[in-house]
Amino acid sequence: MSSSVSAPSGFPEKQGLYDPALEHDACGVAFVADIAGRASHDIVDQGLTALVNMEHRGASGAEPDSGDGAGILVQLPDAFLRAVAPVELPPLGSYAVGTAFLPTSPRAAVDAQLAVERIAAEEGLAVLCWRDLPIDADGAGVGPTARSVMPVFRQVFLTCGEGCEELSQHDLERRAYVTRKRVEHEAGTYFPSLSARTLVYKGMLTTGQLEVFFPDLLDERFVSALALVHSRFSTNTFPSWPLAHPYRYIAHNGEINTVKGNRNWMRAREALLRGPHALPDDLSRLFPICAPGASDSASFDEVLELLHMAGRSLPHAVLMMV
């Protein structure tokens, strides 16, 4: 008897000797940074060059123009965002931004946006505006398979809600985190990132397609002091738009062979989790911490993010993960 497996990309059913739980392979990752913290478009450009040079580390099937995934994480390009946002933005550190992967149905997309706005309000945040994210699928030469599951891309800008005292960047980051997790669980809408610090552009693309597909990345005003890039070779999961890397804190090019046990332990620990001052007491609305159907890297990133958001320094959280 065959049984279907739940995943963002939709695995084939288990049949014969094939079991989707036994998927394996490997990826490519690169990191460029200005050690003096000087933001420039050159850093972004060097990151994209490194990504293209890792084409051999990514993968595609018999259809070479539908890649397993490519992506880049950068610091928030504040000046660029101010130039393209349809409203005036508050100071850097007082707003969060992220790109929603919305349904292609116009009605479903509106419903998803309304859900984002409702949940954000419940978490003490307000939506400043939405921005249609420019894409160029034709110029990038995106293949029919990737196109067939391609979402609609809209960026949302969040800030402190009505009656809310001005938030520190740390508090805003945590509220954005809770909002994003709730939106994923309650509305089924995926955000590569929703942050006051970083921004992720990624998709079911090849390494050379990314910068053409997202024209923002080619704008000289789009600057950062760091760039984390990843070329995906699908391992535990099939290719999909959400499962491209980077995630919110990591990009990973190995394979975590203990992933099933790790997820089970994390699920078991959820009953013992308590919300310190850094996170709401009712943590149940963030559960499950490890999203079903995600890759091993995504699960690692989700747990690392939880530890960091709960008040631990990032080095401390990383050591706990090891």
Enter the tokens of residue 280.
């709401």
Whole-angstrom distance, CA of residue 165 vs CA of residue 96 = 16
Whole-angstrom distance, CA of residue 29 vs CA of residue 245 = 9
Residues involved in catalysis: 27
Comparing C-alpha atoms, which of 274, 278, 277, 258 is closest to residue 321?
258
Whole-angstrom distance, CA of residue 314 vs CA of residue 304 = 8
Whole-angstrom distance, CA of residue 87 vs CA of residue 83 = 9
**Residue 154 amino acid letter:** R
Within 13 A of 230's CA, how many CA atoms are on the CB side? 30
Query: Which letter does DSSP use for residue 59 in this model?
Result: -
Query: Which letter does DSSP use for residue 11 in this model?
Result: P
Whole-angstrom distance, CA of residue 197 vs CA of residue 95 = 9
